[in-house]
Structure 1
Amino acid sequence: AKEIKHLIDDSVGKVAQGSALVDQAGKTMADIVSSVQRVTDIMSEISAASQEQSAGIEQVNLTVTQMDESTQQNAALVEEATAAANAMQQQAQQLDEAVSSF
């Protein structure tokens, strides 16, 4: 009877230890789930920030392209203005020559 009582007490102790280990494992799993959720949230924030940066870079590229087009248009206008100024200078010289004969 003493041996059976001892075996029962030993079994009860082992069950208590097992129960404590299960509780600890449950808490550890809950901590892991919480950590995974935090990592997921951080990754979502990084993804959103990356998308915002990508959109910003795209806007900068568009602006640079527009500036390049404007610069090219301005260069063409300068060439046209130079050609017009040269033509006006030639006409002014011709007019001066024509007027000087009077």
Structure 2
Amino acid sequence: MLALLPAIAYAQCGGASWYALTSKTASGERMNPAAFTAAHRSLPFGTKVKVINRRNGQAVTVRINDRGPFVKGRILDLSKAAAEKLGFLRAGLTQVCLEALD
């Protein structure tokens, strides 16, 4: 019997960094470094995204609530909590793949 796999609506790989501000995000909500959120250049606010650290295989689900990053080669800016869960807090940068979830 064949199992049907859900289609991936959006997938991307590239660099990721983390940030911890106390100002408002582009969506209008206050940045919370303890929440699992992220900034992406074009995905709609509220989109849930599975992020996998390509260096260690750790994964986390985050919600897009901000715009960025605006540095060449980076596709995602993650909250401090998400970076910690992915294991790159000290390094500050890592390579990730992301896929938008339904």
TM-score (norm 2): 0.14
Which of the two has greater strand per residue? 2
Q: TM-score, normalised by structure 1?
A: 0.14
In proportion to residue count, which structure has more helix? 1
- Structure scoring higher RCO (CA < 8 A, sep ≥ 6) equals 2
